[in-house]
A = this chain, B = another copy of it.
Amino acid sequence: MLFIPVSGTPLLMVTKSLSRASDESPLENILPLSGRKALLPLLTDHGYGSLKRVGLELDVLPAAQYIGLGQQFAQAEFIDISPTIRQLRMIKSAYEVKQIRRATTVVDTDYREIGKLIREGMPEIEVDGLLASLARRQGHMGTMRMRGWNQEMPTAHVLVGETGTGLSCCETPVNGIGITPAMPQGAGFGRVVRNQPIYIDHGVAINGYHSDQTRTLVMGKLDATLARAHACSRDILKHLESVIRPGITAESLFETARQMAAESGLADHFMGHGEGQVRFLGHGIGLEIDELPVMAPRFNLPLEENMVFALEPKFIFPGLGTVGIEDDYRVTADGVERLTLTEQEILYI
């Protein structure tokens, strides 16, 4: 547990192991904590026995622990500081940008390497497993982290042709059927087929920081409608790269993209189809892959320098497949920097 007083040095209280925490954490005050019930005595020893207002991350803290803290700190008022923490995390430090940059490099290598390994008839889950293996070898920490309760994400969504067009089980346009309702997303038992889009949404985390990128691979030739939609994804990103700067709102990026899709006659396929269509274009990335800002209606937050996010214009065509691009960006002092290294074209293999 980390205790941050309004003034004074933070206290990191560790159940196990103290010596390891001392090796790994840059914080100065690291104290042994024998268990949750020992929290009040320990804080009392350090002069914090009668707290009046305490901020907690109530969106993730389990209710039982919240109730337990209420019993220990009976006189304290608890405030939900989750929104504040999420807002603070929107702006990345130079260290954080460096970690995300490293993660984008890993994904770029994965996209170049996976093209050499994919064979006709290979199951989607095998492609997914190969990506996990490629990423791990380069230092991917092995898991992806989401803040939302019960949210989780495998290393990649690998969806060939029609399997990429099923209804998503969350607020995203595409997430696949998966191989079991127990994990209802991502790669399934579908196989790589010539001339069908191989949609890959792939993430990696380095030192806790995520990159999240999507590419469309094709073995052979892509259907003209899908190729045109893919070009529209690329045009949307190119245009947004020319307009993003501090002060522009998150929701305006969605609105601009939606308009461009509509002008191309692709409104019905943009970010989903029918019941599955969502009003969403992108999301912050950092320690979690569902950070702020969100590029969606009502997020009228003005962008600021060193916000880092993924933009993912995608098009879904039932019966045909899903195409799109997802790239990572950092807002600069007067524009935007594309962190993704991979080209924005269809990757023919």
**Complex CA–CA separation, A51 to B332 (angstroms):** 53
Nearest B residue to A70 via CB reads B63
Copies per assembly: 2
| Residue in A25, A63, A130 with the greatest tally of chain B CB atoms within 10 Å | A63
Contact A184 B123, CB 8 Å, known A169-B16, A179-B139: no
Select the stretch in A148-156, A191-199, A336-344 that faces chain B: A148-156
CB <8 Å contact, A82 and B58: no
Inter-subunit contact B126/A129 (CB<8 Å): no
Judge whether B182 and A207 touch: CB under 8 Å: yes
* Most B CB within 10 A of own CB, among A141, A149, A170: A141
Interface size class of A (residues with CB under 8 A): 35 or more
> Are A62 and B64 in contact, CB atoms less than 8 angstroms apart?
no
The answer to whether A135 and B129 touch across the interface, beta carbons within 8 angstroms, is: yes
The reply to whether B183 and A142 form a contact with Cβ atoms under 8 Å apart is: yes
In the bound assembly, the distance between CA atoms of A123 and B207 in angstroms comes to 18
Asked if A7 is at the interface (CB within 8 A of a chain B CB), the reply is no
- Knowing A17-B168, A128-B136, A129-B135 touch, does A184 contact B66 (C-beta < 8 A)? no
A275-B168 in contact given A136-B126, A141-B178, A207-B180 (Cβ < 8 Å): no
Using Cβ atoms and an 8 Å threshold, which residues of chain B touch A208? 180, 182-183
Query: At the interface, yes or no: A56 with Cβ under 8 Å from chain B?
Result: yes
Q: Is A45 an interface residue (CB 8 A)?
A: no
Interfacial chain B residues near A137, Cβ < 8 Å: 123, 125-126, 129
Q: B16 to A186, Cβ gap below 8 A? A: no
Contact (A24, B184) CB under 8 Å given A142-B128, A167-B19, A178-B141: yes
Residue-wise interface mask of A (192-220) relative to B, using a CB-CB cutoff of 8 A (1 in contact, 0 not): 00000000000001111100000000000
Q: Are A24 and B181 in contact (CB under 8 A)?
A: yes
Binding site for B on A (CB under 8 A): 16-17, 19-21, 24-25, 56, 58-67, 80, 82, 123, 125-126, 128-130, 132-137, 139, 141-143, 149, 152, 154-155, 166-171, 178-184, 186-187, 205-209, 275-276, 287
